[in-house]
Amino acid sequence: MTSLNRRPTRFLGLALSPLVTWPTSSDFFLSSTLSRREILVDNATFKICSTTAYPSTGITTLNSKSVTEEDTFMRNFTTVTFFNLSTTTTHAPHSSQSFSEPSRPDLFYHIVQAPTPISKTLPAYALSFSSEKPPSSLSTTIIGWLPAQEKAREGTPGSQSNAGDATLADFVVNPAFVDVLHSAIKDGLTEGVDEIQKAGAMQTVEGWMHIHDERNLPALNRIGEPDDIIGTVLVENSEIRPETYQPMPAYRLVTADGLMQLTPGLAQKLKDTLAKIAEAEKSSLS
């Protein structure tokens, strides 16, 4: 087997760096929800023929190049599945001020004006769970921000970029959103809105139960990675004691496995909570 460390691909505008293992000789097709591309493998040399992925549904060759071991290449604007490898990318810049993430229909990018934690002068992409634009560029409902415009260089005005050009290091988490996240989870546990968490309590019976991020679930009866554990709650007699819920300090909203994903009941509770906050913010601004 030949290994190829590839340049970070894009997930929701954030860079991933998976290790791809390629067979040494054969022809393959990478399946995509938006396009198809062919990889011609000849020993350690790979000829990559990229095809259009958005918005065209046809197969149009854009470029081809040879890549040898330890070289890097980029797959832009497509959702790719290669056997057990699945990486997701955001689409090209959209003409509107808001657009959804193709791989996660529940996520939306919104152009917001400065100032933001990204820049005091340049606009940014605000990522949220609502299709409606946030009430303000610093709204609590914003998950985080990504740069929407390149910084000016040598007096030249910044040029428009797209969310897929940003890397993991560019993503700025909204601390206010994190607080709401944990509050919504605690409220959801109190109200018993999530059947998966209740089933987990039945299995735990007694002791502390982790609330895991769905983006990278651990194997059965195993503990997940610290940055994938959202919080912990005490279980007694197979019942969740929501008042004992504690956020995990090491948890991260975004990792190499992507953006946060909650179980259905908790996800809906979070969205409902954010909708109420958005309405309150709109009222305060009017």
For the record, the structure tokens of 247 come out as 């956020």
Nearest to 244 by CA among 204, 198, 189, 175: 189
CA distances from 110 to 64, 126, 132, 133, 146 (A): 33, 5, 8, 6, 10
Residues 169 and 182 in one domain: no
Task: Using the 3D structure, point to which of 108, 139, 173 is the last residue of a domain.
Answer: 173
**Residue 203 sits in which domain range?**
176-285
Residues 189 and 277 in one domain: yes
Distance, in Å, from the CA atom of 277 to the CA atom of 272, rounded to the nearest integer, reads 9
Residues 105 and 195 in one domain: no
E strand spans, 72-148: 80-82, 85-87, 98-101, 104-112, 124-128, 144-147
Least confident of 56-65, 147-156, 180-189: 56-65
- Which residues have C-beta within 8 Å of that of residue 232, sequence separation ≥ 6? 208, 209, 210, 211, 245, 246, 248
Task: Using the 3D structure, point to which of 87, 107, 135 is the last residue of a domain.
Answer: 87
Distance, in Å, from the CA atom of 2 to the CA atom of 201, rounded to the nearest integer, reads 44
For the record, the structure tokens of 151 come out as 């910084």
Q: How confident is the model at residue 212 (pLDDT cuts 50, 70, 90)?
A: very high
Distance, in Å, from the CA atom of 233 to the CA atom of 116, rounded to the nearest integer, reads 34
pLDDT digits (tens, 9 = 90+) for 35-48: 323 333 333 333 33
Confidence (pTM): 0.65
**183: part of which helix (H) or strand (E)?**
helix 175-191
Residues 274 and 198 in one domain: yes
Distance, in Å, from the CA atom of 84 to the CA atom of 202, rounded to the nearest integer, reads 32
Residues 189 and 208 in one domain: yes
Q: Into how many domains does the chain fold?
A: 3
For the record, the structure tokens of 79 come out as 């959702």
Task: Using the 3D structure, point to which of 173, 188, 210 is the last residue of a domain.
Answer: 173
CA distances from 148 to 116, 201, 236 (A): 11, 43, 48
**270: part of which helix (H) or strand (E)?**
helix 264-285
92 lies in some domain: no
> Which long-range contacts link 34-40 to residues 24+ away (Cβ below 8 Å)?
34/77, 34/78, 34/79, 34/102, 35/59, 35/78, 37/75, 37/78, 37/80
Q: How confident is the model at residue 150 (pLDDT cuts 50, 70, 90)?
A: low
Nearest to 107 by CA among 191, 45, 171: 171
Q: In this predicted structure, what is the pLDDT of residue 189?
A: 98
208 lies in some domain: yes
* Contact assessment for residue 270 and residue 211, using Cβ atoms and an 8 Å cutoff: no
Summarize the confidence of residues 234-252 as an average pLDDT. 97
Q: Which of 42-46, 126-130, 169-173 has the highest mean pLDDT?
A: 126-130
93 lies in some domain: no
Q: In this predicted structure, what is the pLDDT of residue 117?
A: 93
pLDDT digits (tens, 9 = 90+) for 83-111: 222 233 333 344 458 889 888 899 999 99
